[in-house]
Amino acid sequence: MEEASPWQLCPLDDQALLASSVEIYASLYQQLLQRGDWDNQLIPSYNPVIPIVTHSFRHREGWRIFLLLTPWMLTRLLLPMRDPGLSLPNQQQKDTLMLLGPLLEVDLLGQRQKAHLQYHPLLGHYLIQPLIQSLHKYSDADAVLSAWSTIVDTRDTLIRQHDRHCKWQQDVSRREMFSGLLRPRPHQSPTLSGV
């Protein structure tokens, strides 16, 4: 008899996933503001002019991958489309969304990577990889995404100089950099614009 997977997969279609991600993280942001967690320095600093938006959605080797920009970080979300065969830590709560869940080292898309395990009832289990965590110096979403593209360019130059190859990282980062960088982002929380 086959054992049931501990991973809860996201049942939403792609568009609903993106819209729900914005709503979920907007709600988390409001909860943290109301509780005063930012003021107590329990969590990283935030920039209230940065909106909550998704960017660069794609499917890759059984994962749905996209960037999520919030007032406190730019991160990559990875949602499995089938059981990824990864063990879930026992302490992973199924009722609370954390800013950063337990850190896992996983073989992901052909490489050993680090990612934080997350859970939300609508999104299921998923992984996040923080990319930029200090957003206080950025004036808007485009400034953050431009900074990320500069990081990608610098990393790619160093890889070429050292004759190393990181095919997955180059492919994912290039798509993030060029996929709609200057186009409007449809999955922005209307209630948090300018917040």
Per-residue pLDDT, 193: 30
Per-residue pLDDT, 45: 76
Structure tokens given for 183: 């186009």
| pLDDT digits (tens), the chain, 195 positions | 556 778 899 999 999 999 999 999 999 888 888 876 665 555 567 888 999 999 999 999 899 999 999 999 999 999 999 998 888 876 555 556 667 788 888 887 678 889 999 999 999 999 999 998 888 888 888 888 888 777 776 766 766 666 655 555 555 555 555 554 444 444 554 333 332
E strand spans, 85-155: 103-108, 111-120, 124-132
Residue 53's Cβ-count burial label (10 Å; 0-12, 13-18, 19+) is buried
pTM value is 0.75
Structure tokens given for 32: 């943290």
How far apart are alpha carbons 89 and 98 in whole angstroms? 14
Structure tokens given for 16: 């609903």
CA-nearest of 158, 154, 181, 169 to 56 is 181
Per-residue pLDDT, 181: 44
| Amino acid residing at 43 | I
